[in-house]
Each structure stands twice: as C-alpha cells, then as structure tokens.
Amino acid sequence: MHHVMSRFSHGNQIWKAVAAAMVLFGAVGCDRKQTAESDAPAVAEGAGGDAAVSNLSGTIKINGSSTVLPISNAVREEFIKVYPNVTVEVDGAGTGNGFKDFQKKATDISDASRPIKPGELSNCNENGVNFVEVPIAYDGLTIVVHPDNDWVDTLSVDQLKKIFVGDDAAKMWSDVDPKWPEEEINIYSPGTGSGTFDYFREVVLDDSDASMRTDMNLNEDDNILVQGVAGNKYSIGFFGVAYYEESKDKLKAVSVINPKDGKAYQPTTENIAANKYAPFSRPLFIYVSTASLPRAEVKTFVDYYLANVSELCEQVGYVRLPAEVLEKGKENLENEVTGTHFVTAEGESRSGPLVENFKPENLTKEVSQ
Amino acid sequence: MSTLPKALSEQDADFQQSNASRRQRMSVWFYGLCVAIALISVVVLVVLLVSIWVQGQSRLTADLLMNSHSELDIERSGMWPAIIGSLFVCGVCALVALPLGVGTAVFLEEFKPKAKPLRWLHGFVQLNIANLAGVPSIVYGLLGLTVFVYMFNIFGQIKVNESSGWELMGANHKYQVLSLETGNVVFVPQTDPDQRQITIDQPVQGMDAAGDPIEIEVWQPGTPKPTDPAVRRRTVRSGAIGATVTEKSWYYFRLPLDKSFLAGGLTLALVILPIIIIASQESLRGVSPSLREASMGLGATTWQTVRDVSLPAALPGIMTGSILAMGRAIGEAAPILVVLGAAVAKNAGPQNLMDNAVTMPVLIYNWAGRQQDEFKELAAAAIIVLLVILLLLNSAAIIIRHKVQQSQS
C-alpha cells in the first residue's frame, strides 16, 4: 500500500470519484410521456374546432381495493387521454386501508370491494367526511369441473363447504353425495394471496372459525388451474368469472344454488347482473368525498368514471351493473346524496343483494354510537 | 531421516503408501465437494436466468422500454416511468447514504475517543449499527412512513381540500372554474392560501392555463347562452365554484414529504446505511496501521491522515460495499410499497420534488401478481431489464473504482 503515500497531498481525488459515482447513480433522465398516448384517438369535446385538448388541471387521489384497482386504472388511462393535465393517483392498498386514508381526508375517492363497515362510517362521521356511495361493477367467481363430469351440474353452498372447508373435508366425491363416484376429489384453487381466494373463503366459511382445507393445488396461474381441471375428470376448481370466458370450451361451469330462492343459476353476465348468481358475485363501489366534488377535476373525473365504467370494467374482467343501478348512482352523485345503503342507523351491517339494498329508504348518513 | 527411530523409518511401506493415497483421495473429494457446492449457486443463478429469459424474451420490445403501464392495452404496457422512478429514488438514496455511511465509518474507525463517556457512546453506536444491518427492510419502510412521509405530523397532516402541509417553494395556487365549454376551465389568481374555494357571480379578471390574463364573463341562467366557443371558454355560470389547484414547479417543496420519491429515497438510504457503514469500516480497518502512524509521525493531523492516507487507501473497498448496497437498494420492493404505496399507473417519472414515483420492483411485483399471462411475461421481461440496468450501474461503478485505483498507483 506504499503507493498511497505518493498521493499524500492530492487526496481530493477521492472526493471527485465519490461525486462522480453519485452523479452516476442518480442519473437524471428526462421525462418522456408515454408514446402510446400520442396515437390515442383525439376526443373532440363540444363543437369547438380546437377544443380537443382540455385545459382542466389538478390532482385526484384514489386509494382502496386492489380488486377495483384495475377498473380505476383503466378509467384513469382513458381519462387522461382527454384531460392530459390532470394527475390521477390510483393506489390499491386494500379496501380497509383505503377507508383509513379516506377518513383522514388523504384521498378524494375510495375504491371498495365491499360496502363501508359501521366502524368506518362512524370514523367518517367523527372526522366530518361525507361521501356519496356509488356502485360501479360486479365481481364474480366461477366454480368449474371437467366437461365429462356428469354427476355435478349444480352445487349448494353446503356442498361446497363439504368440499372446501376444514381438514376433514370430503376426500371422495361419494363423501359429498353417496350417489356420486367413489373417486378422489382433485381441487385447484387460486393462491391464498389472491382476492379471489379471499372472496371464496369469505363465502364458504361464512364467519365461522373453521379454515379452508390445506391439501388443495394452489396456483396463482389461472392457466395451470384450467389445465389441472381440464386434465382430470374428478377435479374441481374456481376462479374469477372473467377467466372462465377464455376457457369455456375446456371446462364446465357449475350452477350454484341461490340460498334465497333455492334455484340453481349459471354464472352468466345476466344472472350476475340480476343478482341471481348468489352468493358468488359481489358489487364493487367507489366512495366519493363530497368535499372534493366542487373541484372541477374531481367532478369531471367521477362523471367520466360513471359514463365509461360499464365498457371499461368488462375489458378488465368484471361484470357491468344493471343500467338502473348505475343511473341511480349517477343521480345520487348529481344530487350529492350522502350516506351508505349498507349500514343501519343502529350501526349494523346490512347484507343481501345490491339491488335490494340500494334504495333511498336504506340510506344512513350517521350511525348512533 | 537417519535420526528417526528404527521402528518409524522402517515402517511398513505398504501402510505408508495406502495412508498417503487415502489422505490424498480425501483431499480430492473435498476439493470436488467444494466445487460442487460452489456450482450449486451458479446453477441456481443459471436456471433462474434461463427461465426468466424463456418467459420474458418475447416481451423485450421497444414498447416495454418506452411505454407506461396499461390495463387496457396490456400488449403495449411498458416500464419507462418505473426505470426513471427507480433511478430517481436510488439517486436520492445514494446522495444521502454514501456521505452519511462513509462519514460514520470514518468516525468509528479513525476518531476513536479516549474519554470514557465518549467511548461508551462510540461502542453504543457500533453495537446499534451491527444490529441495524440485520433488521428486515419492511421495518425500515414503517420507520420511513412515520419519519419522512408523515414527519410525526409536526407539519400538520396533508388533507385533500384542506391542507397541503408547509409549502416552502414552487407552489402557485389558483382557483379553477369550469367554463361553459365542456372540459374547459378558466383560472382565477388566489391570494389567500387558506381560502380554498370561491364563488364567481360577477365578471372578474382571470387567466388561462398558460397564465395569460383573460376577462371572465358570467352567464346568468335564464339568459341566452353564448354560442361562440371562444366566448364560451371564458364564460362561467353565475355561482360557479372555483376550487384551488396547485401549479407545481419542478422545485416544489413542502413538509411533510408525503408519498414522494424523496421519502422513498430517504427510506432506502436508511436500509442500506448499515451495509455501507460496515463495509467502509472493514475497508478502513484493512488499511495498514503503519501508514497512519507514518502520516501522524510526519506531523499530519487526524483529519489530514484520514483525507490523504486512510480514505484513499480504503476507497476500493468502500466502493465495492457501496456498489453492493446500491444493488440492494434498486431491487428493494417492501419498504417502497410501504412508503410510496402500490400505485403503478403513472405515465412519466417524477415531475417535481414532491411527486410520487413508480419503481421497477414495485411494478414487477404488481405485474407478477396479475392473472393475465401477458402481465406475467411482462414481469419476466421487466426482471431482465432490471438486471441489465443493475449490471450497467455496477460496471460503471467498477470502472470508476478502477480509474481511482490506477490514479493512485
């Protein structure tokens, strides 16, 4: 190391080197707008010739359900093509975390894959956050079997519980129904981290202390689930409604018996929209803060959201709402009708289908604690 | 040999032979074992790279590099904002962590105090750093959330429609009012930052998006609406509400930092600080004491010794540690998810100091978790890009290190 001594008086060399390294690590790039934007169809607004590009500006903050995130992202993507000066920040920290931000007035809009809970409502009340509750789409899941499976056409929630819940769950098809073949059930399920799995678990566990069986084939890749079920006559699986559409020819969708009317329904768009395919379909919501609505950018965005969500939600794999529910949501927004339809004044959650609950008489603005 | 006892020198030749060959065989086996163990890690790396390559190579397109995340046009999704975002975040991280880390290491190695309370402090800092190096990065994420994002709420909470925190520079507030022409707005200058809304019921002096003054007309419902689009664009409905929007210059700065790339970079700096400190300490410890003693002997002060002797000699080691640390920083997803959130929809890198950023690991995390195959392939392709960028940064740093070493000899 004697060579160091020769630099005895020129130590500032190292500061230069350190500075150079920093500049390198911090390589500052110039910003380039998305190129895809430029070839987006220019949307002409109004009659004016050069009014194609709007000068609306501002920032909109959204947080909430990761299930709703793709829808909000899709709306944002189309929105900023028309209103390029508006910044829309969409985060997907989960419905609960989204409401936490919403209560703290950190967001303008909260995405939710379930209605607001009584506790969240009372927090909003305390902090003076008023909101309009707007349903935007349906999410649903499909239970599938092998197309050669000739014994299962319909399943009830109880039968599904026998198949999926607990470590003492049915091993053989004959354990579920003695008339069915004495063959081992092969189960394919989305991974435990997915929203689909959570949703399925919520329905079949139904607030009980039991847990899902552990000996299922879990996989995040829907193709592997499709291949798994399609490759074995004695298998069963489930995934999001949208993904069944892509593999309709390889699989058979099971009709689920609606506990309310005892009839079996296929997971079709019509049945989901009519709320017959229960309990495996759920509504998705956005909650819009009324304090933000006077802002031109928020109002324009929410109007745009509701005008386009039906087309866009189908593109990202969800089911559109019945037109009258969507219209009701628009109306509530226009009149700034605040409150939720899913909590009673006594602070109890209201369950049941969206179309039944989403009525003015069910509106609750505040919960009495 | 002649001095050895007879029993030893005349030991069974066969025994000697077989013992030696057995030991030799053991040695060869052990060598083989070591090579095999070393190969396992190489094989794992190769398998990883090959599988990622097979999965992702079809998506390695110009679109991937130049576009941004898209839900509707998955085929053409890209990671440009994430590349820029990662470079910004890691740039902040390097600017903060390198001086702090090297400085701390110099303090711990070169300025060993003699007084007892100071020695105690010295030992305490040392112990803490050793512990901090083992703390999972998600914990730093939570720390960053409190310290940088919310700043203990000392500067107030950032609330939409109410408060933007302490805006120190670069903010220009104005009221935005919808005009009669759909999708078009006019602006009214804002003088009182606390009054976030105004109602317009008579003509006022306003401005357009470029800041040029215009005369804002008011239309009374019930009277005929103007039809000329140019007039409609500067006419607002009587009673229209103007709400604050903030025009932000690139140097826009406010406290707390909120979910900005600065907060992300500072949090990552916390993550890699212990690594840099420990690497720098090791490196400084490796400098021969005789060099220091010679320097001191010539009458140099401690500062001069550090500046001209220890630090230059230790620099290659310090840079190696820093390169490894920066490699970790650019690949960290957990603390960034906590601090900046999981948002991936952004069309450009940060536009101002307080802007959010998407980073490559967060984008990869998001894409890998999607159900569409296209997104999974994109995730694999994005991993390849991340690795290439990492290699580029590392090789640049190695070249710089090499240059420094050469200039020293």
Residue ranges of chain A that CATH labels 3.40.190.10: 54-138+282-362, 140-273
Least confident of A31-35, A105-109, A302-306: A31-35
- Can you tell me the mean pLDDT for B189-196? 87
Q: Per-residue pLDDT tens for A324-359? A: 899 999 999 999 999 999 888 888 888 777 878 888
Domain final residue pick, B230, B255, B280: B255
Higher pLDDT, B72 or B12: B72
Question: What beta strand segments (E) does B208-334 contain?
Answer: 213-219, 235-237, 240-255
Q: What is the pTM of this model?
A: 0.82
Question: Are A78 and B72 an interchain contact pair (Cβ–Cβ within 8 Å)?
Answer: yes
| Confidence label for A46 from pLDDT (cuts 50, 70 and 90) | very low
**B119 and B176, same domain (yes or no):** no
Q: Per-residue pLDDT tens for A132-160? A: 999 999 988 889 999 999 999 999 988 99
- Can you tell me the mean pLDDT for A164-190? 89
Q: Per-residue pLDDT tens for B61-81? A: 999 999 999 999 998 999 999
**Minimum CA–CA partner of A2 in chain B:** B291
| Confidence label for A195 from pLDDT (cuts 50, 70 and 90) | low
Question: Are B98 and A92 an interchain contact pair (Cβ–Cβ within 8 Å)?
Answer: no
Report yes or no on B74 lying in a domain.
yes
**B238 and B289, same domain (yes or no):** no
pLDDT for B211 equals 82
pLDDT at A19 > cutoff 80: no
Contacts of A171-177 with CB under 8 Å at 24 or more apart are A173/A234, A177/A151
**B338 and B270, same domain (yes or no):** yes
Question: Are A45 and B184 an interchain contact pair (Cβ–Cβ within 8 Å)?
Answer: yes
pLDDT at B17 > cutoff 80: no
**Cα–Cα distance, B186 to B178 (Å, whole number):** 6
Q: Which of A49-58, B27-36, B343-352 has the highest mean pLDDT?
A: B27-36
Report yes or no on B160 lying in a domain.
no
**B80 and B143, same domain (yes or no):** yes
* Residues 313-342 (A) with a CB less than 8 A from some CB of B: 315-317
- Can you tell me the mean pLDDT for A21-32? 40
pLDDT for B12 equals 67
Burial A290-314 (b: 16+ CB within 10 A, else e): ebbbbbbbbbbbbebbbeebbebbb
**B19 and B107, same domain (yes or no):** no
Interface test with B, best of A97, A241, A295 (most B CBs within 10 A): A295
The rounded mean pLDDT for chain B is 90
Residue B277, helix vs strand vs coil: helix
Domain that holds residue B320: 65-153+258-408
Tell me which residue in A4, A33, A90 faces B345 most closely, judged by beta carbons.
Answer: A90
Question: Are B184 and A74 an interchain contact pair (Cβ–Cβ within 8 Å)?
Answer: no
**Cα–Cα distance, B196 to B190 (Å, whole number):** 9
Tokens standing for A315? 């593109």
Q: Per-residue pLDDT tens for B254-295? A: 999 999 999 999 999 999 999 999 999 999 999 999 999 999
pLDDT at A31 > cutoff 50: no
- Can you tell me the mean pLDDT for A304-333? 91
Report the CATH number that the domain containing residue B93 is assigned in CATH.
Answer: 1.10.3720.10
On whether any CB of chain B is under 8 Å from the CB of A223, the answer is yes
Tally of domains within chain B: 3
Residues of B in contact with A304 (CB under 8 A): none
Tell me which residue in B73, B319, B408 faces A4 most closely, judged by beta carbons.
Answer: B408
Report yes or no on B20 lying in a domain.
yes
HEC string of chain A equals: CHHHHHHCCCCHHHHHHHHHHHHHHCCCCCCCCCHHHHCCCCCCCCCCCCCCCCCCCEEEEEEECCCCHHHHHHHHHHHHHHCCCEEEEECCCCHHHHHHHHHCCCCCEEEECCCCCHHHHHHHHHHCCCEEEEEEEEEEEEEEECCCCCCCCEECHHHHHHHHECCCCCCEHHHHCCCCCCCECEEEECCCCCHHHHHHHHHHHCCCCCCECCCCEECCCHHHHHHHHHCCCCEEEEEEHHHHHCCCCCCEECEEECCCCCCEECCCHHHHHCCCCCCCEEEEEEEEECCCCCCHHHHHHHHHHHHHHHHHHHHCCCEECCHHHHHHHHHHHHCCCCEECCECCCCCECCCCHHHHCCHHHCECCCCC
Which stretches of B57-114 are DSSP H helices?
62-66, 80-110
Question: Are A82 and B319 an interchain contact pair (Cβ–Cβ within 8 Å)?
Answer: no
Query: If you classify domain A54-138+282-362 with CATH, what class do you get?
Result: alpha beta
Contact predicate B179/B228, CB 8 Å: no
Question: Are A13 and B404 an interchain contact pair (Cβ–Cβ within 8 Å)?
Answer: yes
Fold of A140-273: D-Maltodextrin-Binding Protein; domain 2 (3.40.190)
Report yes or no on B217 lying in a domain.
yes
**B264 and B185, same domain (yes or no):** no
Q: Per-residue pLDDT tens for B78-135? A: 999 999 999 999 999 999 999 999 999 999 999 888 889 889 989 999 999 989 988 9
**B250 and B262, same domain (yes or no):** no
| Confidence label for A254 from pLDDT (cuts 50, 70 and 90) | very high
Question: Are A46 and B87 an interchain contact pair (Cβ–Cβ within 8 Å)?
Answer: no
pLDDT for A369 equals 57
The rounded mean pLDDT for chain A is 82
**B266 and B244, same domain (yes or no):** no
Phi and psi angles of residue B356, each rounded to the nearest 5 degrees, phi first: -75, 165
**B330 and B394, same domain (yes or no):** yes
From the number of C-beta atoms within 10 Å of its C-beta (0-12, 13-18, 19+), residue B336 rates as buried
pLDDT for A354 equals 82
pLDDT at A37 > cutoff 60: no
Question: Are A31 and B161 an interchain contact pair (Cβ–Cβ within 8 Å)?
Answer: no
Q: Per-residue pLDDT tens for B35-69? A: 999 999 999 999 999 999 999 999 999 999 999 99
pLDDT for B191 equals 86
Q: Per-residue pLDDT tens for A280-293? A: 888 899 999 999 99
pLDDT for B8 equals 62
Q: Per-residue pLDDT tens for B336-346? A: 999 999 899 99
Q: Which of A24-28, B161-165, B264-268 has the highest mean pLDDT?
A: B264-268
Interface test with A, best of B308, B318, B346 (most A CBs within 10 A): B308
**Cα–Cα distance, A70 to B370 (Å, whole number):** 10
pLDDT for A193 equals 61
From the number of C-beta atoms within 10 Å of its C-beta (0-12, 13-18, 19+), residue B1 rates as exposed
